[in-house]
Amino acid sequence: MIAHGGSPRDYFGEFKVPGPVVPLIAVPTTAGTGSEATPVAVVADSERILKVGIASPFLIPHTAICDPELTLTCPAGLTAIAGADALTHAIEALTALARPIDGQTTHEHVFVGKNALSDTYARQAISHITDGLARAVKSGDDMAARESVMLGALLAGMAFGVSGTAAAHALQYPVGAVTHTAHGAGVACLLPYVMHFNRSHAVKSMAEVAVAMGAAAGHDDAANAERAIAAVASLFGAIGIPRDLAALGLSENQQDWCAEQSMGAARLVKNNPRPLDVAAMRTIIGAAFAGRRDLLDADN
């Protein structure tokens, strides 16, 4: 990108990369971001508190070499937060807003919106990550588990590269900035609360999450959506993800600022299945801070 002149700051946001970059060969050494298959790069801006995203179709790698052996040296904590990030990608992709497609879609949105193909990748990603993540965290030399998580992370990247991610990712940018915590820990801590907030607008896709996680029972979508949320919270608890934002290190008086700042990630906010505003973000943060999904019930 720098070959085109200017500073990386010129490229923050969507569609700012002016043309093709040199062919990119991505070799992931964690199983998490899915960057080997997405149009997104996230960079730290030394002049801002927040990390910033660069989203452009020109950033999709030409080749991805995904070798789970390269993750064998990841310690348990890193394995957990990277894998939790990948599961969050897949779930936010499957439950994202489906937007109408027209001739302008690919010019107006880097993330064109979920569709049948992204859903297929997302469901498979959820299944593989659910299968392998806890084992990979517990037994780092379990190659089958490592392989499942790496395949899941790649599939999740292929899903959210189309659909985009949503509220959990939008909220993590400011939460991560003020708590100085890892991206994966933040999005995963937030995800059960975001799912609870969104469930009335994504019942069917959230029931599909339960099916992919092996947590579904019967055919009642609303009940299975609840089971999906419980299964995600249980898996994340088992691998050591903080259960609430207070445990992540957020202070009570930082909640308003985080809610306001989260709306700045417009490319993510617009993908959320339930419309978001500052008040909605503040409601989610309040529940996530208190560790109480039931605080979102009145709102559903």
Which of the residues 239 through 268 are near Fe ion (CB under 5 A)?
Answer: none
Compute the least distance from the CB of residue 3 to Fe ion, in Å. 27
**Residue with smaller CB distance to Fe ion, 153 or 295:** 153
Residue closest to Fe ion, measured at CB: 85
| CB-count burial class (<10 Å; 0-12, 13-18, 19+) for 160 | buried
**Residue with smaller CB distance to Fe ion, 32 or 273:** 32
Site membership for Fe ion, residue 131 (CB under 5 A): no
Per DSSP, the three-state class of 26 is strand
**Residue with smaller CB distance to Fe ion, 85 or 226:** 85
The stretch among 81-89, 118-126, 139-147, 279-287 that binds Fe ion (CB under 5 A) is: 81-89
Question: Residues near 177 by Cβ (< 8 Å), separated by ≥ 6?
Answer: 49, 50, 51, 261
Compute the least distance from the CB of residue 89 to Fe ion, in Å. 6
**Residue with smaller CB distance to Fe ion, 11 or 160:** 160
**Residue with smaller CB distance to Fe ion, 68 or 161:** 161
Cα dist from 8 to 17, 55, 111, 296, whole Å: 10, 12, 21, 39
**Residue whose entry in the numeric block shows the structure tokens 């992540």:** 248
Compute the least distance from the CB of residue 231 to Fe ion, in Å. 19
Burial 186-214 (b: 16+ CB within 10 A, else e): bbbbbbbbbbbbbbeebbebbbbbbebbe
Compute the least distance from the CB of residue 268 to Fe ion, in Å. 10
> Residue 180 — φ and ψ, nearest 5°?
55, 45
Cα dist from 115 to 121, 159, 169, 248, whole Å: 10, 9, 20, 34
Return the closest-CA partner of residue 143 out of 72, 204, 77, 195: 72
The stretch among 49-57, 84-92, 134-142, 219-227 that binds Fe ion (CB under 5 A) is: 84-92
**Residue with smaller CB distance to Fe ion, 145 or 171:** 171
Instruction: Pick from 39, 54, 81, 85 the residue near Fe ion by CB under 5 A.
Output: 85
Per DSSP, the three-state class of 27 is coil
Residues 105-124, one symbol each (x = binds Fe ion by CB under 5 A, - = not), give --------------------
Binding site for Fe ion (CB under 5 A): 85
